[in-house]
Amino acid sequence: MSRTYFGTDGIRGTVGQLPITPDFMLRLGHAVGRVLRRSGVRPSVLIGKDTRISGYMLESSLEAGFASAGVDVLLSGPLPTPGVAYLTRALRLDLGVVISASHNAFADNGVKFFSSRGEKLPDEWEQEVEGSLEQQPQWVDSASLGKARRLTDASGRYIEFCKSTVPHTLSLRGMKIVVDAAHGAAYHVAPDVFHELGATVVKIGCEPDGVNINAGFGATSPQALVNAVKEHRADYGIALDGDADRLQVVDAQGRLFNGDELLYVLAADRLSLRQPVPGVVGTLMTNMAVEQALQRRNVPMVRAKVGDRYVLEELTARGWQLGGEGSGHLLALDRHTTGDGIVSALQILFAIHRSGKTLAALLEDVTLFPQTLLNVRLREGSDWKNNPALESARQSAERELADRGRVLIRASGTEPVLRVMVEARDAALGRACAERMAAAAAAG
């Protein structure tokens, strides 16, 4: 059964256009509430949000929808997505709801859900909700309406949880850290976590006004962090995205470390502690240098489809703990049930603290392969999978690259574009291979 509204990470779109409208959100809250009521008990849900101005409107609509179905609601106000996941589990609630469009600009917004265990819900649940949306509403009577209240200590509870994910021996005293919250959901949480662990904290991207989320700050715009680390002569910089589930790190020299490199550090740190690392999950885009570095340490890496949801599915299926992607979505399932930028940053800082090495030194065995990514606009009706010239060029490139690189060809899921990516130790060789395949695809 196909889904009409749910995508790979909840429901997302432009505010004021279906489905990101107040009337649809009321219907959605009611539909989800009816699904929850099928368990036979009176459900309770938590609604958190990021700092977008549209969050007020969507929060009110969802609250009304849940109440109309007889579901009680807790409202946390602005809180990182992983904070909602944690509190849903800690408070034994039935569902966590996050109003956010993550790294998108303020004009977008969306909704995603977490189970009572703080985990993302399966496709089957989303299909059940979409089925409920197609049905006529069944308003409960006045005596059965849901109640709503504010959870006034949500941020404090989440701060303590973040701190609990590292040993009590970790102190950040003597370390200066720049924290960039992208004017998003972690603006009032992330600086306090690092400060309470002893660091001197410089805050940037912590002044949300409803329309500046992700604008020139955060994990998707890391140059602001690079500049601030240099200006304040900080030891490290931490950049989160709008809902704080992504992480990028900058060192004192202004070097930016992406999610692929940070994933390797997480695995290597556990190995140094003689903890088991049966395998790591990356994505189709994870840099080959990381895969080879893990293999040298006898740690296999499996590639999932692009998207943290698919990384999580693969980890769960294999019973592994560590996964992530270059964008900075990192999963450490022995610390949290979902990707968490603050928790991931603490794991990296603990690795630095415990080893006595810099982050660059921890990655001295990993030199990322240069990547060439070309987008080829396809002709209408073209079948790239059965293009003999493209297949011949691909096979030729793979022979030429051997174990010095790799090829990835995939269609965009949002536009008629073929993405041709080549990763190679030799950047010039990689670009030449990519250009030959792109030309064959364009001619097909």
Structure tokens at 275: 């903890």
Active site residue 132: no
Q: Residue 135 to residues 10, 28, 32, 41, 131: CA-CA distances in angstroms?
A: 20, 11, 12, 21, 7
Structure tokens at 140: 């409960």
Q: Residue 107 to residues 113, 139, 157, 389: CA-CA distances in angstroms?
A: 21, 32, 30, 42
In terms of phi and psi (left: phi > 0; alpha: psi -120 to 50; beta: otherwise), the region of 233 is left
Question: Residue 178's closest CA among 237, 241, 242, 221?
Answer: 237
Question: Residue 158's closest CA among 230, 223, 85?
Answer: 85
Question: Residue 46's closest CA among 190, 158, 192, 144?
Answer: 158
| Cα–Cα distance for residue pair 409/139, rounded to 1 Å | 50
**Among residues 61, 68, 76, 102, which one is catalytic?**
102
Which residues are CB-neighbours of 127 under 8 A, at least 6 positions away? 1, 3
Q: Which residues are catalytic?
A: 102
